[in-house]
Amino acid sequence: MMMGFITLLFYFIFLYKHMIQRDLNSPKKCADKLALKINRRNKRYAESFEYYCNFYGGQFSKQIYDFYRINQLKSDADEGNTEAAYHLGEEYFYWQADYVQSRYWYKLAADQWLSKAEYSLAQFYEKGWGGSQDDSKAMELYQRAALHGSEGAQITLADKYFDGKNTQSGIILTKDDAQAAKWYEKVAEQGDRVSAFMIGMMYQQGLGVAKNYKKAILWYNRAIERGSRKAKYNLGLMLEIGQGLAKDKVKAKQYFQEACKEWIEEACWKYKKKN
């Protein structure tokens, strides 16, 4: 009896694998799924999808999707679609690990003044990915991308001007606090937490800008609203000595405690000292 049940069970598994599942993975169904994924419904694409699905045994796979996604992007890029060229750069960089192709498509988009492509290409020149390494070209592209609105490029420029030298990449700049402050404030206005802290600190210390405690407090508070631990500590220091606002040791202690809970070591020392 048990043997008969097991035999019947294996029969149903065989039937599912070789008949029912084959229908579910038929070239037509595979093509429909692929068309939906790539958002193409016209007859020309449907026929080519079905042919390609049939070639791969009716299985909808990442290989099929990648093939058509890349080819469709190339087709769009060849027709002058700058976003398509940029996304090809992304595709080759993140999914295909082909830096030469990625650099080629980023450059095509960057040549059309697309800021995010300029920023990506700048990193390729800085790191030497997919071709020659060129610090001067990288800086030119960072500047272009920043002027065209790339937040990533603006942050990169602010950091490089503040540090004077980016030791990881080797790009050497004369330290320029005024340029750093300019870009940090611009990015802070767009909602970046770290930049809000940095420009607050620069106003507090008068680095690259005229010393202005009111603006420092304004930016520290914005940074705190966005989750900055360091801004809590710095604002606590200002409250402790009454720098730019009324002295408030109770409030300062509260900020030190909160910053300490978030692993700011100096804040822990300050908080313990006050207990």
pLDDT value, residue 264: 83
Element (H, E) at 49: helix 43-55
Per residue in 90-128, pLDDT tens? 989 988 899 999 999 999 999 999 999 999 999 999 999
Cα separation, 213 vs 195, whole angstroms: 17
Residue 172 φ then ψ, to 5°: -110, 125
Each as own residue / partner, the long-range contacts of residues 87-96 (CB below 8 Å, 24 or more positions apart, any chain) are: 89/117, 89/120, 90/120, 93/120, 95/66, 96/66
Element (H, E) at 239: helix 229-241
DSSP lists the bridge partners of residue 165 as 172
Tell whether the model's pLDDT for residue 130 goes beyond 60: yes
> 200 and 219 in contact (C-beta within 8 Å)?
yes
Q: Mean of the pLDDT values across residues 188-204?
A: 97
* CA 187 from centre of chain: 15
Q: Mean of the pLDDT values across residues 56-61?
A: 55
Q: In sequence order, what are the residues at sequence separation of 6 or more whose Cβ sits closer than 8 angstroms to the Cβ of residue 64?
A: 30, 34, 52, 53, 56
Q: Mean of the pLDDT values across residues 181-187?
A: 98
pLDDT value, residue 69: 79
Q: Please report, rounded to a whole number, the percentage of residues in the chain having pLDDT higher than 70.
A: 73
Indicate the pLDDT class of residue 28, thresholds 50, 70 and 90: low
Highest average pLDDT, of 16-20, 59-63, 170-174, 182-186, comes from 182-186
Cα separation, 7 vs 65, whole angstroms: 38
Tell whether the model's pLDDT for residue 169 goes beyond 60: no
pLDDT value, residue 13: 42
Q: Mean of the pLDDT values across residues 62-90?
A: 86
**What global pTM score does this model have?**
0.75
Mean pLDDT of the chain: 83
Nearest 10 degrees: Cα torsion 111, 112, 118, 124: -40
pLDDT value, residue 187: 97
